[in-house]
Structure 1
Amino acid sequence: MHIQVSGAPLYAYTGGKDFDAAKPTVVFIHGVLNDHSVWILQSRYLANHGWNVLAIDLPGQGRSGGEPPATVEAAADTVLALLAAVGVEQAALVGHSFGSLIALEAAARSPAHVSHLVLAGTAFPMKVSPALLEASVKAPEKAIAMVNTFSHSTLAPPPSSLGPGTWLYGGSRALMRRVLASNPKVNVFYTGFKACDDYAGGEQAMPAVHCPTLFLVGKHDQMTPPKSAKALAQHARLAQIVEVEAGHALMTEAPDEVLFALRDFLAA
């Protein structure tokens, strides 16, 4: 569904269920050049097990209108504005990569509005190499190939979130191309990476979070190495760390492990 947030339509996938403000709500936030679909298994499961699901496309990309957020802080304000727009007093926030920084900043800015925080494939600082930043503008196809190489841990993963036979590399590349093409005016590849690279508030934000925090870590993650997530977890009040057999693309490489970790954490 589309929700008017800060004067622009924000798309949120609901798992095929009508939104019911009386139910607990979980917001899924994707990373750079991804969209709501990266959470397909987890969002559909929770939507069918008592949760409102809002798996969003960030502004200015995918199915959402508006301007792409140039900073983590601006994106966090969008998430909080979304909660206000749908009349939800409190929600769980689940973010991956760039989305994890957005979820963290939102939870720090308004701790009373966040019941659970899940940071998947996270790191602080989340620095991006100058070569990759440059390639995202001058040679986006090359940059997409680089990101996919570093995001996946194996050429032959077990049955993925889309079922046996899914080609994770090809599917991810196609998604990234589609999201990049969804905004012909702004390079959301560069904008997202630059926002990650610029974000300096992680160590201050983490102690300001009042709710339990789950760190979902891919054991073979080369984009956001596990040691970086564990370093950030040391600043959390109520931290839990779960490692899964995957790289940075852990929702598709280890979909069941990610789902079960989310299910158990949100039930606590």
Structure 2
Amino acid sequence: MAPAPSARGTVAFGPYRTWYRVTGDLQSARPTVVLVHGGPGSTHDYLLSLAALAEHGWPVVHYDQLGNGGSTHLPQAGADFWTVELFLGELDNLLHSLGVADNFVLLGQSWGGMLSAAYAARQPEGLRGLVVANSPASYPLWTDELAVLRAQLPPGVNETLLAHEAADTTDSPEYLEAMNVFYDRHVFRLPEKPTELTASMMEIANDPTVYFTMNGPSEFHVVGTLRDWSVIDLLPRIQVPTLLLSGRHDEVTVGAVQPYYDLIPDVRWEIFEESSHGPHLEEPALFMKVLVEYLRSLD
């Protein structure tokens, strides 16, 4: 169970509101770890266990990105509204509104890792470190890697997926059943989903506006506005010590992560052998050990 929050609330982001949760003391000498969740269009819930970093001495900020969870929902907003720049601006606004912009670490998971890398490439003065977890460096590269994973599914599964994708019937029960075969292999491998992961999945289902618009109907059918987005050209600009984290069975394959390792000047990479897309939930003790060791190295 995650430690109780020390504060919760919302900050203004233009005419909208961004929901946040603080664990620990933001006045600590140690940098605040700001957690940037995936999706896009998910919520903070599945990352709640990382609030335990506060028990090791690092204050933690969770937040829900615009469009989901406790932040402002905009189900009528069109594709031109949901942009990378929107979410970069929201993150910057949050850091300054909470007074942590002068001393922070970003930990981004999945889409949140790409967003965090793009923010880090702007070389904000207060950034002390960057953790990129389970994140592709490029959507086109990731799509190519996903095709390889899909081809390795049991006979008939990918054919079912392809047929429904071609017919635009990805909301059918047959597609969802086939989709779960992929998810059980490459998104979350444990037999029972923790409640915090289920909570985030339910939030996406309750309002899929952002996820469907920017990603697509599933993790492996990326047809939304992000389909051509890449941070590869930005990676050499990242000047802080960076930790890459991924799972051996991750939907974000080694090939999709490799550009981070090749191009960020100060980087190390930890692969969790028993995990897929959520090693913080699949191998939590080892994940926390690796993360705390990295944060201590920043001291």
TM-score, normalization: structure 2? 0.73
Larger Rg computed on CA atoms: 2
Structure 2 portions without partners, runs of 5+: 1-7, 147-160, 216-223
Structure 1: which 5+ residue stretches go unaligned? 157-166
AA partner of residue 49 (structure 1): H
Contact 2:42–2:211 under 8 Å retained in 1: no
Q: In the superposition, relative to structure 1, how do residues 264 and 31 fare at CA in structure 2: closer, same or farther (>3 Å)?
A: same
Tell me, yes or no, if the aligned pair for 2:42 and 2:68 is still in contact at 8 Å: no
Partner of 2:103: 90
Amino acid in structure 1 at the alignment position of 2:20 = A
Give the counterpart letter for 1:139 in structure 2. Answer: D
Q: In the alignment, what sits opposite 2:253?
A: 225
> CA distance change for structure 1 residues 152 and 136 in 2, over 3 Å: closer, same or farther?
farther
1:1-268 aligned at under 5 Å gives the runs 1-7=8-14, 8-15=16-23, 17=24, 19-20=26-27, 23-32=30-39, 33-43=41-51, 45-65=52-72, 67=74, 70-88=82-100, 89-127=102-140, 128=143, 138-139=170-171, 142=175, 145=180, 148-152=183-187, 154-156=189-191, 167-168=192-193, 172=197, 175-181=200-206, 183=207, 187-193=209-215, 194-200=224-230, 202-221=231-250, 223-244=251-272, 245-268=274-297
Normalised by the length of structure 1, the TM-score is: 0.80
Aligned to 1:111, the other structure's residue is in SS state coil
CA distance in 2: counterparts of 1:46 and 1:146, whole angstroms:
33
SS in 1 for 2:92: helix
Contact preservation (8 Å) 1:98, 1:196: no
* Distance across 1 between alignment mates of 2:136 and 2:87: 17
Tell me, what secondary structure is at the counterpart of 1:56?
Answer: strand
Deviation at 1:138, TM superposition (A): 5.0
**Which region of structure 1 is more displaced relative to structure 2, 52-61 or 32-41?**
32-41
Cα shift at 1:22: 5.2
Distance 1:227 1:148 in 2: 19
Could you tell me how far apart the structure 2 residues matched to 1:256 and 1:136 are? Answer: 41
Shift of 1:94: 0.3
Question: Deviation digits for residues 58-97 of structure 1, max 9, x if unmatched?
Answer: 1110111165872333212211111111122131000111
Supply the RMSD in Å over aligned alpha carbons: 3.1
Q: 1:48 aligns to what SS in structure 2?
A: helix
Between the two proteins, what is the percent identity of the paired residues?
24
Q: What is the letter of the counterpart of residue 53 of structure 2?
A: L
